[in-house]
């Protein structure tokens, strides 16, 4: 008997000897016949690759990488290396879709039931944030030089919308932004067409300019949003909301905490 689940390794017994398969977080497939599988996925007998995402991409455990490039790389969730598997962290992540890595079941369980909370000081700007690994952030002590309207109750924001980021723009754009984001008015950027948002008000303030302000960006049904579908997260300070998501997006002058951080990255500077 041999299990194909990650991190579980049982010896295989036959009439002649006791076989002890090896284990690698990247998977294992030798030229000899082996009982070891990987992530519970089916191995293609002809190529000895794992066909992830219903055959969308083939993963070769011998090379420890995909054999075809990722269409979400290098500027999106796939990372800088279009052939890399699980952002070089296969122990904590898995990639069933073949498009972008996600945390494995153990990591998700641990984060859900044992959240960590800590105060993150920002001495250069005199501000701090309260962060939990449930991806909710509440900024406090924001200096008055940043033009932001922080409120406890936002009358202009429906109850089913959550704050997902900040957008810096000129004061003169307030009416058009609050009337609804129009894809035809957006300038095409290097990373693609869409509304650029940041989880950091410091970063958003850079784009607000001297006479601008920082707006709150709110999303509806964000628990259903997926990176690479509704939005992209090319870097820690940038999130690109795709035009197809604008029907579930509003921009408001009023900013109601907490902020829900979508698709957290290690480099997040909140």
- The residues near 103 (Cβ < 8 Å, ≥ 6 apart) are 92, 93, 94, 111
Average pLDDT, the chain: 75
H/E segment holding residue 139: strand 136-140
**Statement to judge: residues 70 and 153 lie in one domain:** no
Residues of the chain with pLDDT under 50: 1-12, 31-32, 34-36, 106-107, 110, 117-134
| Domain edge (last residue) among 98, 113, 128 | 113
**Statement to judge: residues 123 and 245 lie in one domain:** yes
Is the preceding omega at residue 81 within 30 degrees of 0, hence cis?
A: no
> How far is CA 155 from each of CA 147, 216, 227, 229, rounded to the nearest angstrom?
19, 13, 29, 30
**Statement to judge: residues 3 and 133 lie in one domain:** no
| Domain edge (last residue) among 68, 93, 113 | 113
**Statement to judge: residues 163 and 243 lie in one domain:** yes
| Domain edge (last residue) among 63, 91, 113 | 113
Determine the pLDDT at residue 55: 78
> How many domains is the chain built from?
2
- The residues near 121 (Cβ < 8 Å, ≥ 6 apart) are 128
Q: Which residue range(s) make up the domain with 13?
A: 1-113
Determine the pLDDT at residue 195: 93
Residue 202 CB neighbour total at 10 angstroms: 20
**Statement to judge: residues 245 and 167 lie in one domain:** yes
Determine the pLDDT at residue 100: 67
């Amino acid at each position: 008997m041999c299990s194909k689940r990650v991190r579980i390794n049982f010896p295989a017994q036959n009439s002649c000897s006791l076989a002890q398969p090896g284990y690698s977080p990247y998977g294992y497939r030798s030229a000899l016949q082996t009982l070891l599988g990987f992530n519970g996925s089916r191995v293609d007998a002809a190529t000895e690759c794992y066909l992830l995402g219903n055959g969308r991409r083939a993963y070769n455990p011998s090379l420890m990488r995909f054999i075809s490039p990722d269409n979400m790389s290098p500027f999106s969730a796939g990372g800088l290396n279009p052939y890399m598997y699980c952002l070089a962290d296969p122990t904590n992540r898995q990639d069933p879709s073949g498009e972008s890595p996600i945390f494995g079941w153990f990591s998700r369980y641990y984060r859900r039931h044992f959240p960590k909370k800590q105060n993150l000081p920002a001495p250069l700007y005199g501000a701090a944030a309260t962060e939990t690994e449930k991806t909710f952030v509440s900024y406090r002590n924001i200096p008055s030089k940043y033009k932001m309207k922080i409120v406890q109750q936002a009358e202009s924001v429906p109850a089913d919308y959550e704050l997902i980021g900040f957008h810096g723009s000129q004061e003169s754009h307030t009416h058009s932004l609050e009337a609804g984001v129009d894809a035809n008015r957006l300038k095409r950027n290097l990373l693609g067409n869409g509304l650029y948002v940041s989880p950091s008000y410091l970063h958003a303030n850079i784009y607000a300019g001297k006479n601008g302000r920082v707006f709150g960006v709110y999303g509806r049904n964000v628990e259903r949003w997926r990176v690479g579908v509704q939005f992209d997260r090319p870097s820690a300070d940038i999130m690109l909301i795709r035009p197809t998501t604008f029907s579930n997006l509003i921009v408001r002058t009023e900013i109601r905490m907490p902020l829900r951080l979508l698709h957290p990255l290690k480099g997040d500077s909140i």
